[in-house]
Structure 1
Amino acid sequence: MSRDRVLQAARTRFAERSFATTTVRAIAAAAGVNPALVLRLFGSKRELFLATLHLPTRLRDDMAELVGSDPDDLGERLVRRYLALWQDPVTGPSVTAMV
């Protein structure tokens, strides 16, 4: 499906470069579609970027659980959770793009 190809191309481009230097035209070329289709599917580059930020739906609950527990090792637990997201093949590109 075109939408999936565009999302994958966008994830890759945003992770390799940055939001500011990635163009809709470059994403469209990588996905093998017309830039107009990208805008029709997502509305804008910003909306496309937001769509690429595929993070686990439980992330908010996980973070609340981490923050609500023992504060003595909170920093370590947050870093471990972040690194797990970074190294995951599904969430890694999104985390990279956000950074």
Structure 2
Amino acid sequence: MAWISLIFAGLFEIVWATAMKQSQGFIRIWPSIITIVGMLISFGLLSWSMRTLPLGTAYTIWTGIGAVGAFIIGIFLLGEAASPLRILAALLIVSGLVIMKVATS
């Protein structure tokens, strides 16, 4: 159950990071509200998953899901560059997440 909570925490990190970009420095109200609510949910789920998962594992997985998810959103929704080196970097993050999951009992 902690792993499911952690995955959802990472997904909500993508939500709040995307909304923060859309808030234009917290001057647009609805993206700002979504950012704050998304942060609260994300941090709450992360905290709950840390009850049983090691700190290093939970935090690494959480930030990795958020980083790769924000990268994908940036490319597909915001028109950011998808250069080979950026894609390689994202793939390396994903491979690190898989190794971290396998290495955690």
TM-score range, shorter chain: 0.3 to 0.5
Flag the structure with larger Rg: 1
TM-score by length of structure 1 reads: 0.34
Larger helix fraction of residues:
2
